[in-house]
């Protein structure tokens, strides 16, 4: 038997209260614990985005708690679902650094729970959550919070956002070339592999030539999360490798061979 409890805790900068769920096996004994760090986009604690309800993270939490007997925390990132503060642009103005530091606060909150065995803490990151995990580990170490026993990195570790975006552009072009619909026929006449890559280069120039957190275009119809892109573009492979080399936790990396988003 398990319990599911709604919880909340402050963000690292106290600008928003982060809302989450803790699932726990019943009992009074100490248990291993895990924080789920979600992927990029406006995805909530369950793994849903708007009308797209995949429940990836709620199912993962069920596995951790029901099958492994762990205490699991998952939460809505800042500006998403119930982690809001009245600023409609909070999610779009948040950077990679904000998200990583919020993971630190989530970890502190989970470690403070009475049944958590602090010697058996695991952080699980998916997609962007996996990409930023070496940075999270550094923050935990620098703040003297803890060294997690393990890091579980799903579909994303070892790549930067830029390399993932370029890979996705290549995969998109393959779909366009092999497509047999009117849409793919039209796209073959409007786009080329170079144009798709140039879009990424143009985006890099836009976000790196401003200090704004958000770029608003076309009378507010287009909003670019400039801070998020800028920080991710700076978080390149050499930086990821540098931080990863200092990780002393046990690490398990899992990526699907047919994953169309990461490799």
Confidence class of residue 176 from pLDDT cuts 50, 70 and 90? very high
Confidence class of residue 158 from pLDDT cuts 50, 70 and 90? confident
> Which pLDDT score is estimated for 229?
97
Tell me what percent of the residues of the chain surpass a pLDDT of 70: 98
Q: Is the pLDDT of residue 193 over 80?
A: yes
> Which pLDDT score is estimated for 260?
62
Mean pLDDT throughout 167-186? 94
Mean pLDDT throughout 85-104? 98
Contact 122, 152 (CB under 8 A): yes
CATH fold of 2-159+237-254: Rossmann fold (3.40.50)
> Which pLDDT score is estimated for 57?
98
Domain ranges of the chain: 2-159+237-254, 161-234
Long-range contacts formed by 192-200: CB under 8 A, 24+ apart? 193/169, 196/169, 196/172, 197/166, 197/169, 199/169, 200/162, 200/165, 200/166, 200/169
Q: Is the pLDDT of residue 70 over 80?
A: yes
Mean pLDDT throughout 229-241? 94
Q: Which of these, 239, 207, 213, lies nearest to 132 by C-alpha position?
A: 239
């Amino acid at each position: 038997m398990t319990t599911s409890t709604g919880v909340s805790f402050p963000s690292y900068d106290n600008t928003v209260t982060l809302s989450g769920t803790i699932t726990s096996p019943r009992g009074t004994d100490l248990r291993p614990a895990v924080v789920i760090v979600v992927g990029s986009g406006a995805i909530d604690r369950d793994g849903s985005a708007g009308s797209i309800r995949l429940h990836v993270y709620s199912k993962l939490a069920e596995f951790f708690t029901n099958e492994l007997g762990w205490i699991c925390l998952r939460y809505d990132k800042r500006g998403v679902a119930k982690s809001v503060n009245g600023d409609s642009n909070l999610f779009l103005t948040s950077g990679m650094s904000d998200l990583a530091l919020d993971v630190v606060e989530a970890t502190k909150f989970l470690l403070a729970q009475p049944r958590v065995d602090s010697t058996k803490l695991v952080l699980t990151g998916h997609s962007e959550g996996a990409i930023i995990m070496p940075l999270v580990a550094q923050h935990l170490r620098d703040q003297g919070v803890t060294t997690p026993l393990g890091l579980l990195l799903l579909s994303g570790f070892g790549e930067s956002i830029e390399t993932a975006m370029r890979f996705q552009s290549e995969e998109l072009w393959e779909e366009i070339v092999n497509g047999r619909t009117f849409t793919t026929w039209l796209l073959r006449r409007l786009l080329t592999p170079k144009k798709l890559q140039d879009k990424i280069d143009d985006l890099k120039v836009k976000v790196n030539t401003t200090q704004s957190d958000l770029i608003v275009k076309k009378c507010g119809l287009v909003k670019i999360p400039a801070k998020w892109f800028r920080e991710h573009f700076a978080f390149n492979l050499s930086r990821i490798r540098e931080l990863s080399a200092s990780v002393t936790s046990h690490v398990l990396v899992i990526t699907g061979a047919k994953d169309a988003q990461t490799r």
